[in-house]
Amino acid sequence: MENFDVIVIGAGHAGIEASLVASRLGLSTLLLTNNLSRIGYMSCNPSIGGLAKGHMVKEIDILGGEMGIAADKNCIQFRRLNASRGPAVRGSRAQCDKDRYCDYMRERVQSCENLSVRELEARELIIDKSVCRGIVTSDGTKIFSKTVVLCAGTFMNAVMHFGLKQVPGGRIGDQATIGISNQLSSLGFKVSRLKTGTPARALKSSIDFSKTKAQVGDDRFIPFSFRSTSKMNLPQVPCFITYTNEKTHEIIRKNLDKSPMFCGVIQGVGPRYCPSIEDKVTRFADKLNHQSFLEPEGLDSELIYIQGMSTSLPEPVQYDFLRTMPGLECVKLVRAGYAVEYDFFEPTQLLPTLETKGVTGLFFAGQINGTSGYEEAAAQGLMAGINAAMKCRENEPVILGRDQAYIGVLIDDLVTKGTKEPYRMMTSRAEHRLVLREDNVLDRLFKVSLDNGLVADDLLRDYERVLSARDLVRRELQDRSVVPSPETQKILSELNSPVLQKPLKFKELLRRDEFSCLKLRAFGFGANYDFDKVLEPVEIEIKYEGYIERQRRLVEQAKAIDNILLPQGLDFERIHGLSREEREKLKKVAPRSLGQASRISGVNPSAVQAIMVHLKAAERAT
């Protein structure tokens, strides 16, 4: 009879992070996958990061996760999105070599201490009196554990749609996961359906790139991971841009009767922010064209990912409309696009730790919680793995606040508000985004890593050195001044900055729009400090100091209400002033704090006041 502390089901982006963090924390961990060759496989776009998503990748890295360093090592094009805009909405994005990324992740999990990796299918959970005790494999073998993390992605009862033809499976080449969602549904879990899709992959040699516009990467590479260097490991390659046109749209419109989405065959809701080309053509009928990026899947790969053209139309129709686009007139498809419909669990059935409310010791992470994207999945997997480990050790759980990390926003949104469509992280979802920047992730999450032993001691020392260097830069900027000497005025004129009328602190000089820490080097400042890790974060902090301070005050106000914890099992029926709808939603979510209660959709400020009055009355009565 085999026993583990943690069993992780599924070796996608969520399962990798969950299993690695649990094993790093010293727990005996088993990672199960249906296909060893597809560990960390990028089923769709071969890229990591983007707006808000890049923030989460950097947060995952500081908490000891693997996604950031894997993306850095296998990056073939780097771009910082929104580089000309404010620091809160900039996002790092790495186009990756798909096969190398997968190989890296497979080697990483297979060589990790305390982690066993097996090609097995989990058919059933062992649940005894609402406690998860392990799993039953497809051959009937029982494997016991203290906790189970379910990371089944888009595979639960999954069906692939190729036009009006349906085939069981979570993606081409991989079978569906059958049994677990039916079992949990029978135990009272709410299970619904979602839909995702992927575009065609084209043969590189069949595309005339001279008719497209090349998009190259940035000269400056900014790694996701503190463990990476600022030099790219692989050469950069360009992507290419092409467009649909009216002829493309006409072909799609004429064939909507062959689309499972438009014939009612697919019942699951698709991703709002990554719609199929059929959706784009019908929902935005006044738009003359839609942009598509032709993205190489790897340095040695002949496959081109036709980004922005997700579809479930039959392959002949895909050929017809793709060949109307510039550069694709003679395109040959290696694999046509298709849609996948799969089961997910309403995430309000989870605690903020990602443990299920209905079954102790069972954690959910990734797309089974209704999210979309590799980064969202990895973030949940990391936190589920951490909290599964903490539960095994009988330690306090790790819960990130909305003011602390985008990961905190993600999980709070899921467990508090739920979702009816694939959830995608965006900067607009974070009310405190000015203090949740990519550049200050270390400041925000270092103590979480330190207090919970999430990273090795040598890496913690590296983190401490960077934080100490930032403190030194802050002090130097505050203490050192420039005086209006002829030499100073000459330097300022050469830098197109107004001359001085009186002595000025370096900190005040840095506040000038045209100034930067790099320009301060003309005055002998900062030459020995790393720009990406030390100087730029401090510069941003100083330039936006007033706005950041204003947001910090709002954060403190929000914390005040979040710190008011609600008694476990609070009877909302006994609270006067709540509507029937508010009572139903409060009972469904069972918020852990007054702040969480205030964020439930449909719970009004008056209801929050009513709960507070009830709590104060109960306190006086005792």
Tokens 């090592």 sit on residue: 73
Q: Which residues pair with 168 in a beta bridge?
A: 159
pLDDT in tens, 349-402: 999 999 999 999 999 999 999 999 999 999 999 999 999 999 999 999 999 999
Q: pLDDT tier at 262 (50, 70, 90 boundaries)?
A: confident
Separation CA 470–CA 476 (nearest Å):
10
Q: Where are the beta strands (DSSP E) in 422-484?
A: 481-482
- How would DSSP label each residue in 355-423? BBSSSBTEEE-SGGGTB-SHHHHHHHHHHHHHHHHHHHHTPPP----TTT-HHHHHHHHHHHH--SS-B
Q: What percent of the chain has a predicted confidence (pLDDT) above 70? A: 100
Q: Are 558 and 402 in contact (CB under 8 A)?
A: yes
- Arch. (CATH architecture) of 457-551: Orthogonal Bundle (1.10)
Q: pLDDT tier at 267 (50, 70, 90 boundaries)?
A: confident
Residue 255 has pLDDT above 80, yes or no: yes
On average, the pLDDT of the chain sits at: 95
pLDDT in tens, 552-564: 999 998 889 999 9
Residue 526, pLDDT score: 87
Residue 135 has pLDDT above 90, yes or no: yes
Q: Are 87 and 244 in contact (CB under 8 A)?
A: no
Ramachandran sector of residue 441 (left: φ over 0; alpha: ψ -120 to 50; beta: rest): alpha
Residue 268, pLDDT score: 82
pLDDT in tens, 115-125: 999 999 999 99
Q: What is the mean pLDDT of residues 199-215?
A: 97
Q: Is the pTM of this model over 0.75?
A: yes
Residue 471, pLDDT score: 97
Q: pLDDT tier at 187 (50, 70, 90 boundaries)?
A: very high
Q: Side chain identity at 337, as an amino acid letter?
A: G
Backbone angles phi, psi at 3, to 5 degrees: -135, 135
Q: pLDDT tier at 480 (50, 70, 90 boundaries)?
A: very high
Residue 198 has pLDDT above 90, yes or no: yes
Helix 374-393 / helix 53-62 crossing angle, nearest 10 deg:
30
CATH H-level superfamily of 2-197+342-452: FAD/NAD(P)-binding domain (3.50.50.60)
Residue 533, pLDDT score: 94
Q: What percent of the chain has a predicted confidence (pLDDT) above 90? A: 90
Residue 405 has pLDDT above 90, yes or no: yes
- Arch. (CATH architecture) of 564-621: Orthogonal Bundle (1.10)
Q: Which residues contact 363 (CB under 8 A, 6 or more apart)?
A: 18, 147, 148, 149, 150, 353, 354, 355, 356, 384, 387, 388
Q: Are 110 and 117 in contact (CB under 8 A)?
A: yes
Residue 273 has pLDDT above 90, yes or no: no
Separation CA 553–CA 550 (nearest Å):
5
Residue 271 has pLDDT above 90, yes or no: no
Q: What is the mean pLDDT of residues 464-479?
A: 96
Residue 221, pLDDT score: 96
Burial 516-539 (b: 16+ CB within 10 A, else e): bbebbeebebbeebebebbbbbbb
Separation CA 92–CA 586 (nearest Å):
38
Residue 27 has pLDDT above 90, yes or no: yes
Backbone angles phi, psi at 491, to 5 degrees: -65, -45
Residue 196, pLDDT score: 92
Q: Side chain identity at 553, as an amino acid letter?
A: R
pLDDT in tens, 90-104: 999 999 999 999 999
Residue 179, pLDDT score: 92
Residue 266, pLDDT score: 83
Residue 622 has pLDDT above 80, yes or no: no
Q: What is the mean pLDDT of residues 519-538?
A: 92
- Poorest-confidence range of 98-112, 163-177, 301-315, 399-413? 163-177
Q: Where are the domains of the chain?
A: 2-197+342-452, 457-551, 564-621
